[in-house]
């Protein structure tokens, strides 16, 4: 997170400080919420893995599309259509079946932490969607939220992990430096890509793509890596359900965009301009711009 802030600083600080001050005065609550939820997501999920099986952890976190959809209704007043909601449920249940391997065990506190971490992840994505659609670009969002997350997590590192890290560092300095550098670069690229995808589509669509990525990895590993014997009947049914849910969701979105494009005045007048796909969408399909309050 400190690395993200340092790497993005030369780009973000090309704008005058007055511009950053005005931006933060408008959206400081959202920045704090995103940074705090990101830190809680990381901390709660990592703690839960101490006393919950990886299978149960993945099953719980597979519910993220439904969580984000519900939070989008509460925070952004964005309601899905019946077809979209059905597709999300089918997709989520399919992924849960696909990742259901081994024992489903866990202590109550760990299960609670995993659920809480999933909710925090959904809240982070929903607040990001709101800010990106109204006031911020991807670089500034990542630049502003990185120090917040760092401030939330640093005290726990200093209290619980600092001594063990300092004991491990002298004899593994090169390996630690390499891992920290590669993981930091990966985190910056991931956060920028993730935020860009949210901005270009929506938080819900981003989670749907994340779910189908899991199914794609399972299918490809079975085909290309010779792991077909490990693909059980339950996993196969789950993959099929997830693909059906993804197809339903994609069809609903594409149909909505085509209806808007067909009914757009620009399309009927033969203008070469690209119509605003958010205009004319029903409440179930409308983007966040329709609900954004003027700054």
**Mean predicted confidence (pLDDT) in 252-272:** 71
Q: pLDDT band at residue 226, thresholds of 50, 70 and 90?
A: low
Cβ contacts of 94 within 8 Å, gap of 6 or more:
215, 237, 238, 239, 240, 241, 242, 243, 244, 245
Classify residue 169: in a domain, yes or no: no
For residue 161, what are its two tokens?
């992990």
Domain count, the chain: 1
Q: Is residue 78 part of a domain?
A: yes
Q: How confident is the model at residue 2 (pLDDT cuts 50, 70, 90)?
A: confident
Residue-level pLDDT at 275: 46
pLDDT category, 159, cuts 50, 70, 90? confident
> Is 93 domain-assigned?
yes
Instruction: Name residues whose C-beta falls within 8 Å of residue 219's C-beta, 6 or more positions apart in sequence.
Output: 239
pLDDT score of 33 more than 50 = yes
pLDDT at residue 143, as a whole number: 92
Q: Is residue 173 part of a domain?
A: no
Please give the model's pTM, rounded to 2 decimal places: 0.81
Give a yes or no: residue 174 inside a domain. Answer: no
Q: Residue 282: is its pLDDT beyond 60?
A: no
Q: Which of 12-16, 195-199, 264-268 has the highest mean pLDDT?
A: 195-199
Would 210 be classed as within a structural domain? yes
Average pLDDT over residues 215-222: 81
- What is the average pLDDT value for the chain, to the nearest integer? 84
Per-residue confidence (pLDDT) for residue 93, from 0 to 100: 94
Structural domain of 202: 2-162+185-264+276-291
Quick one: pLDDT at residue 288?
43
Calculate mean pLDDT across residues 57-82.
93
* Predicted pLDDT of residue 279: 40
Confidence of residue 243 (pLDDT cuts 50, 70, 90): very high
- Helices of type H across 49-172: 54-61, 64-76, 82-98, 108-134, 138-156, 162-168
pLDDT-based confidence at residue 285 (cuts at 50, 70, 90): very low
Residue 172 DSSP symbol: G
In a domain, 271, yes or no: no
* Largest interatomic CA distance in the chain: 71
Domain for residue 172, yes or no? no
pLDDT at 32 over 90: yes
């Amino acid at each position: 997170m400190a690395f993200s802030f340092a790497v993005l600083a030369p780009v973000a600080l090309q704008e005058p400080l007055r511009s950053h001050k005005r931006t933060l005065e408008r959206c400081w609550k959202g920045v704090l919420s995103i940074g705090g939820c990101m830190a809680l997501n990381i901390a709660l999920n990592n703690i839960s893995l101490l006393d919950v099986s990886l299978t149960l952890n993945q099953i719980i976190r597979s519910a993220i599309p439904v969580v984000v959809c519900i939070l989008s209704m509460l925070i952004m007043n964005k309601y899905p259509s019946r077809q979209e909601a059905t597709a999300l449920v089918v997709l989520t249940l399919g992924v849960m079946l696909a990742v259901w391997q081994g024992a489903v065990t866990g202590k109550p506190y760990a299960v609670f932490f995993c659920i809480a971490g999933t909710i925090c992840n959904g809240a982070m994505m929903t607040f990001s969607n709101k800010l990106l659609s109204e006031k911020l670009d991807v670089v500034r969002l990542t630049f502003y939220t990185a120090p917040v997350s760092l401030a939330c997590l640093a005290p726990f590192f200093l209290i619980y992990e600092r001594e063990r890290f300092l004991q491990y560092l002298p004899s593994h300095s090169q390996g630690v430096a390499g891992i920290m550098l590669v993981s930091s670069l990966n985190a910056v690229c991931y956060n920028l890509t993730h935020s860009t995808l949210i901005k270009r589509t929506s938080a819900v669509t981003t989670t749907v793509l994340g779910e189908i990525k899991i199914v794609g990895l399972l299918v490809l590993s079975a085909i290309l890596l010779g792991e077909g014997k490990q693909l059980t009947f339950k996993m196969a049914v789950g993959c099929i359900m997830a693909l059906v849910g993804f197809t339903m969701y994609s069809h609903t979105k594409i149909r909505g965009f085509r209806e808007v494009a067909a009914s757009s005045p620009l399309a009927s007048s033969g203008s070469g301009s690209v119509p605003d796909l958010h205009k004319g969408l029903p409440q179930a399909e409308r983007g966040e711009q329709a609900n954004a309050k003027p700054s």
